[in-house]
Structure 1
Amino acid sequence: MSPGSGAAGVGAETAPHFVLVPMMAAGHAGPMLDMARALACRGALVTFVTTPLNLPRLGRGPGDDALPIRFLPLRFPCAEAGLPEGCESLDALPGAGLLGRFNDACAMLRAPLVARLRDDAAAPPASCLVADACHPWAGAAARELGVLRLAFDGFCAFSSLCMRQMNVHRIFDGVDDDRRPVRVPGFPIDVEISRARSPGNFSGPGMKEFGEEIMAESARADGLVVNSFAELEPRFVDAYEAAIGKKVWTVGPLFLNTMPAAAATAEGAAAARCASWLESRKPRSVVFVSFGSLVRSSVAQLAEIALGLEASGRPFIWAVKPGKLAEFERWLSGDGFESRVGETMGLVIRGWAPQRAILSHPAAGAFVTHCGWNSVLECVAAGLPMATWPHFAEQFMNERLVVDVLRVGVPVGVKDAAPWGVEAAAVDVVATREDVASAVAAVMDGGEESAARRTRAAELGRKAREAVATGGSSDRNVALLMEHAGRKKTTA
């Protein structure tokens, strides 16, 4: 165990002991670590399960050592699962073909986790195990330990319910056209989705069965924890609860518990460069462009994005993660893009950028996003509108929520999902420079529609902050979750 200095003695005899098991990927582990902080701030003891290589990547803050959070790094069985050594996280996999083996390796953590928790004399017995829904094996671990088991859902209620209904009703059976929209039955609003835009990108041997295992185990869970807030999607939270017959605890935006948007900061050269650049911009004038940690676009597509941003005439920060960095750098120098736009107009960041700090800065005006749920939630909390460019997984569903339900987004116009874990072909272009420039203009320029969209986005940002404030809906749900786990511990 790797405890913080405050890990022992904070009401240890009476407070519930939560064991948190995130999916081994940055976009999954981060929100669950924020949940650990939210619980620990209320006095719960939290054991956070990770692996040796993932532990230093967690982004632990200076205040974490004062909280009753213990980090439990379990050896990740790469060799036993047939994985290359070091593949301890989803984003470290060389390709999607190894996803099945990665899931097998995760499942092998069950026995050592149960053993470590049973043999741990330094902490009270676990009272609740909260595991990512992508860890169906965690249900058996909780039953072995005789503790409450909650599934952590990394998606919003809208997309989770949509995916459930798609699977339950097998909506694509007999459909031979991948682009043909099919209505999703039993959904609160009229939604159609094609196979090409559905979360069917994780194909391969055993993946269909794995998806069914996730659904079956989630149905056995005692409830679901969702990184969303009630005011964002009330109709869909209620419908999701009714469909699964379980309590859905909305506890987000989790990152606001420990990093309020107004005070967001970050360290490092990229962060300092962005902060300095933003300080010289007018309020709400800058477009931020980022597609998360897993997207790898072709150089041809990156060129279209660059030229579209240039044509928009708007100042921008672009966090780019090219699949072939050397080739992209050759294009930049050959085309003269950076010399033309200069840092007066645009800032190109290779790799990581301090997304929360950028979005929360007064100069930020809009976000061109891949619609990953963490990114959507961070933009919502910042009170900004979006230009939506989904790539894979549930991102096209998130786009529907953002554009059609919340009405704070403008679609770039992408038609099909990109297969996750597969390098884009050298000539693949799914959105042109005209598409990019048009979407930026729609989301940033004046006019009644744009002004109304911006007003709605600002209102959602206010509601997000209120949800996690004392007495807010998410704050109350965290308190109720603590009480629920405490009662289960008392009666166990």
Structure 2
Amino acid sequence: MSWGGGADVAGAEASPHFVIVPMMAAGHAGPMLDMARVLAGQGALVTFVTTPLNLPRLGRAPGDDALPIRFLSLRFPCAEAGLPEGCESLDALPGLDLLGNFNDACAMLRAPLVAHLREDCSTPPASCIVSDACHPWTGGVARELGVPRLAFDGFCAFSSFCMRQMNFHRIFDGVDDDRRPVRVPGFPIDVEISRARSPGNFTGPGMKEFGEEIMAESARADGLVVNTFAELEPLFVDAYEAAIGRKIWTIGPLFLSTTMPSTATTEDANAARCASWLESKKPRSVVFVSFGSLVRSSLPQLVEIAHGLEASNRPFIWVVKPGNLAKFERWLSDDGFESRVGEKGLVIRDWAPQRAILPHPATGAFVTHCGWNSVLECVAAGLPMATWPHFAEQFMNEKLVVDMLRVGVPVGVKDTAQWGVETEAVVATREDVERAVAAVMDGGEEGSARRDRAAELGRKAREAVARGGSSSRNVKLLMEHVEQKKSMA
């Protein structure tokens, strides 16, 4: 619970003090830590709230010690919430049935967080709470302290606004066919979505009420902070802002504004292996396949992916996170897949340096689950995508990528998976995989136009975070807004 070594906290009374509360999951905490670095780099003081098991997973960057960022580690109340010990992040939950308990445990952090912020005389009072939209309890923290709360939206504006309209208008009430497309009212373009492709996060006991609580607290927030950039989806940012009557600050892609985090020894080994392998490949020849930190694929589905990649006859890096690693390793051994593909394919277990692989000159396309962090990293790298959504808002992200930005080719998955529940079903065949890879790597006129559009988006992403760019300006405007609120308090 200490400040960075270069921070002059005692003399920083005039600086705004941001308290950042991320959702305890790698895909949520990472962007918020990048935001902490961006704000601290502009002179703000930042308290980053985490827990003992999540703290070492954050990935410290080389320049963090010179920034005024305090990592506040609060005990996570697993036992009190009915969770097994160690379940301090979403990816550590053994099943979806404990998601409600996890949310309850997060809400129990309210009292200790308020106590720390009130009693710690070594730091200036909080000026603002910036919390993941999935932490509605932090609205109460902000009101107790008498400071504004900003909701951090880890999704893009397109998907967040779409979900808001779906929930606000209850579009699936009375719809008995899960695959029937339903129009989303009040959206700036005609969009239809079925219940089968809609976000499945708020299912199970108490989840509907939790979703409504999130919406209610987001409506009370002083504004939204979104990890996107204005030039990527201007129509949807403007429409979302008008609908909620609140300011939306687009400040992404956040990872482009910060130094690459250092990594652990095992991750360094994978990074070195990937870098060496990529250097041996021709420019834009490699397909990168990865489905994020939460997806766990069944063995039958992994077999289909393997054979599809082999049939595509393209060099590939495939990041595998099987539901059962031992079964997958036995299959690899019995099938001889790695021996057959040889140097043409690289199979990485569990983790790969995605941010280094995507912009590498040898990488030509990304087969992705359409999690927003992955989409944004691919956009910034200027690459086209083959889209394979699984759950949450990923089918909506696919619509943005394929239909609006026109930089993606769908693999053809029809229904959302249920996070935390592994099934033996095969949702995409080897033929689907082979076809999608061929399409996204196509050298014809359509593929060339797709790559040109992707490269242009990559240029705009880098310009947005550069000095004078739209996201850079919004960071300054956000700080000015908080400073004004502070002076009025």
Please give the range of the TM-score, normalised by the shorter of the 2 chains: over 0.9
Q: Secondary structure at the match of 1:80?
A: coil
The residue aligned with 1:82 is: 82
Q: Is the 8 A contact 2:382 2:458 kept in 1?
A: yes
State how many pairs are aligned: 488
The residue aligned with 1:6 is: 6
**C-alpha separation between the residues in 1 aligned to 2:170 and 2:92?**
32
Matched, 1:463 2:460: yes
The residue aligned with 1:449 is: 446
Q: Is the 8 A contact 1:264 1:356 kept in 2?
A: no
How far residue 487 of structure 1 moved from its aligned partner, in angstroms, is: 1.2
Letter matched to residue 407 of structure 2: V
**C-alpha separation between the residues in 2 aligned to 1:468 and 1:10?**
30
Residue by residue over 1:425-458, the C-alpha shift from the partner in whole angstroms, topping out at 9 and shown as x without a partner, is 2xx1000000000000000021111000000000
How far residue 335 of structure 1 moved from its aligned partner, in angstroms, is: 1.2
The residue aligned with 2:406 is: 407
**C-alpha separation between the residues in 2 aligned to 1:333 and 1:13?**
62
The residue aligned with 2:119 is: 119
Structure 1 residues 422-437: aligned runs within 5 Å: 422-425=421-424, 428-437=425-434
**C-alpha separation between the residues in 1 aligned to 2:201 and 2:313?**
35
How far residue 202 of structure 1 moved from its aligned partner, in angstroms, is: 3.6
The alpha-carbon distance between structure 1 residues 202 and 404, as it changes in their structure 2 partners (threshold 3 A), is same
5+ residue gaps, structure 1, are none
Residue by residue over 1:104-131, the C-alpha shift from the partner in whole angstroms, topping out at 9 and shown as x without a partner, is 0000000100000000111111101100
**C-alpha separation between the residues in 2 aligned to 1:13 and 1:193?**
49
How far residue 259 of structure 1 moved from its aligned partner, in angstroms, is: 3.8
Structure 1 residues 274-353: aligned runs within 5 Å: 274-342=274-342, 344-353=343-352
How far residue 424 of structure 1 moved from its aligned partner, in angstroms, is: 2.1
Letter matched to residue 402 of structure 1: V
**C-alpha separation between the residues in 2 aligned to 1:103 and 1:264?**
29
The residue aligned with 1:245 is: 245
RMSD across aligned positions (CA):
1.5
Residue by residue over 1:190-223, the C-alpha shift from the partner in whole angstroms, topping out at 9 and shown as x without a partner, is 1110000000344111000000000000000000
Matched, 1:199 2:199: yes
The residue aligned with 1:382 is: 381
Matched, 1:46 2:43: no
Residue by residue over 1:400-428, the C-alpha shift from the partner in whole angstroms, topping out at 9 and shown as x without a partner, is 00000000000000000000011222xx1
**C-alpha separation between the residues in 1 aligned to 2:362 and 2:122?**
48
**C-alpha separation between the residues in 1 aligned to 2:121 and 2:201?**
44
Q: Secondary structure at the match of 1:284?
A: coil
Give the TM-score normalised by structure 2: 0.98
How far residue 260 of structure 1 moved from its aligned partner, in angstroms, is: 7.5
**C-alpha separation between the residues in 1 aligned to 2:10 and 2:61?**
19
Q: Secondary structure at the match of 1:452?
A: helix
Q: Match for 1:473 among 466, 470, 473?
A: 470
**C-alpha separation between the residues in 2 aligned to 1:264 and 1:115?**
33
Letter matched to residue 227 of structure 1: N
Q: Is the 8 A contact 1:287 1:365 kept in 2?
A: yes
The alpha-carbon distance between structure 1 residues 205 and 110, as it changes in their structure 2 partners (threshold 3 A), is same
Letter matched to residue 230 of structure 2: A
Q: Secondary structure at the match of 1:229?
A: coil
The residue aligned with 1:96 is: 96
Structure 1 residues 143-154: aligned runs within 5 Å: 143-154=143-154
Give the TM-score normalised by structure 1: 0.97
Letter matched to residue 35 of structure 1: M
Q: Structure 1 runs of 4+ off > 4 angstroms?
A: 263-267
The residue aligned with 1:227 is: 227
**C-alpha separation between the residues in 2 aligned to 1:423 and 1:101?**
20
Residue by residue over 1:313-368, the C-alpha shift from the partner in whole angstroms, topping out at 9 and shown as x without a partner, is 100000000001111111111111111001x2000001010000000111110000
How far residue 97 of structure 1 moved from its aligned partner, in angstroms, is: 0.2
5+ residue gaps, structure 2, are none
Q: Match for 2:484 among 476, 482, 487?
A: 487
Q: What percentage of aligned pairs have identical amino acids?
A: 84
**C-alpha separation between the residues in 2 aligned to 1:264 and 1:438?**
35
Q: Secondary structure at the match of 1:252?
A: coil
Q: Is the 8 A contact 1:289 1:369 kept in 2?
A: yes
